Amino acid sequence: MENFNLELQGNWILFILFFICLIGFSIYVYRRTNPPVPNWLKKILTFLRAVSLVIILFILFEPILNLSWNRIEKPVIAVLLDSSASMSLTDDGKIRSEKAKAIMQYDFFQTDFDDKEFEFYQFSDNLAPLHLNQLDSVQFNRDGTDITKALKMLSEKSIDSYLQGIVLITDGIHNLGENPVRYVEEFDTPIFTIAIGKAMEQKDIVISKITSNQITYANNKVPVDVTVQAYGYPDQRIEINLLKDTEVIDSKYIEVGKDIFETRVQLHFTPIEPGFQKYRIQIPVLENELTSINNQKNFYIKVLRSKMKLLFISGGPDADFKFIKRSLEADQNIDVDYWVLKNNREFYQEP
């Protein structure tokens, strides 16, 4: 604790005068008692009255207690290493990930400075802490790169520290989430980028996102929304396949209209057997494509044997019953049995 300060809204001299008067008043009141009491009890009663009156006096003068601490923290520089699959590619015979790890092993990042400290993270579609002594265990095999999400998560983690700068070690291939260029326009912390790989346009087709139900029922038609991004392949017709094991369940074609292209298509499948099932979205590998790793992506779904059974008991066939009945019937995953009260002993039942 560095500073301790008690302030009163009123005058200190006036407070002291009242304080003395209240103590004297308490002593005077218990100078004589009727009936008489022992001296030790008089002292206790005098003390209790004096404390009560002083507390009331404090409240009336609105005391404010100020406690302050001072601490010195080093500014933090966050070092973010891209661990996506594109970092495992080779440029001029050198693997990008090996270049990045060599940069992080520079003496500069391992020196203890008096005026700053480093925090290390790895990122792809998420952000995770990284220790330099575990650098060799980093697996560069994640599905995509979301730079914007990594920066947002870093801001949340650093809310209680002084984040002075960010060092971004990446090949710059951004294929997930919000465009980082728009996000960093209003980003307060300076970002220093160390580019890994060739500074040339790379051709790539990416399955960036798959959205589907996590739980469904057997014999129900399930939609699957697939977001596809294309870089450097204008005027191409690309087939998107939905597979279970090696069987193609559904497929659609998209027409790529420009160099940088993004679209969403919807595929469908109908599971027959219950259980935890694996499906795969796959697109063909095109000529001169940067990597084929992001041309396929798996997703999982839990298939239940039958629909949810629900008993709906209503007090009468009123408007509320009709509204709820219509809402329940719109859900294909629910099988409802309706009981509507006819009188005190009987129910209307379907039909």
pLDDT tens, position by position, 33-88? 777 778 888 788 888 888 888 888 888 888 888 888 777 778 888 888 888 877 77
Q: What angle do CA 241, 217, 327 make, to 5 degrees?
A: 110
167 and 92 within one domain: yes
Per-residue pLDDT reduced to its tens digit, 106-138: 888 777 777 788 888 888 878 888 888 777 777
327 and 295 within one domain: no
pLDDT at 253 over 70: yes
Compute the distance between CA of residue 18 and CA of residue 23 in angstroms, rounded to an integer. 9
234 and 142 within one domain: no
| Those residues with Cβ within 8 angstroms of residue 198's Cβ, 6 or more apart along the chain or in another chain | 91, 92
81 and 22 within one domain: no
Compute the distance between CA of residue 208 and CA of residue 196 in angstroms, rounded to an integer. 22
218 and 251 within one domain: yes
Q: Which of the 8 DSSP states describes residue 294? A: G
149 and 63 within one domain: no
Amino acid letter for position 302: K
Compute the distance between CA of residue 175 and CA of residue 89 in angstroms, rounded to an integer. 16
Whether the CB-CB separation of 125 and 143 falls below 8 Å is answered with yes
| Those residues with Cβ within 8 angstroms of residue 6's Cβ, 6 or more apart along the chain or in another chain | 63, 64, 65, 66
| Those residues with Cβ within 8 angstroms of residue 317's Cβ, 6 or more apart along the chain or in another chain | 340, 348
Compute the distance between CA of residue 348 and CA of residue 313 in angstroms, rounded to an integer. 10
30 and 110 within one domain: no
Q: Lowest mean pLDDT: which of 151-165, 212-226, 230-244?
A: 151-165
25 and 117 within one domain: no
| Those residues with Cβ within 8 angstroms of residue 26's Cβ, 6 or more apart along the chain or in another chain | 46, 47, 49, 50, 53
Query: What are the Cα distances from residue 206, in Å, to 5, 201, 225, 309?
Result: 62, 15, 14, 41
182 and 82 within one domain: yes
Q: If you search the block for the tokens 């051709």, which residue do you land on?
A: 203
What pTM was computed for the model?
0.50
Whether the CB-CB separation of 228 and 272 falls below 8 Å is answered with no
183 and 81 within one domain: yes
Q: Say which CATH number the domain at 106 has.
A: 3.40.50.410
**In the predicted model, what is the mean pLDDT of residues 210-217?**
87
Structure tokens at 19: 């304080």
337 and 299 within one domain: no
Query: What are the Cα distances from residue 142, in Å, to 84, 123, 145?
Result: 4, 9, 8
- Of the chain, the percentage scoring pLDDT greater than 70 comes to 96
176 and 80 within one domain: yes
Provide the domain limits for residue 138.
76-195
Number of domains present in the structure of the chain: 4
Q: If you search the block for the tokens 């990597």, which residue do you land on?
A: 291
Residue 30 has phi, psi (to 5 degrees) of -100, 20
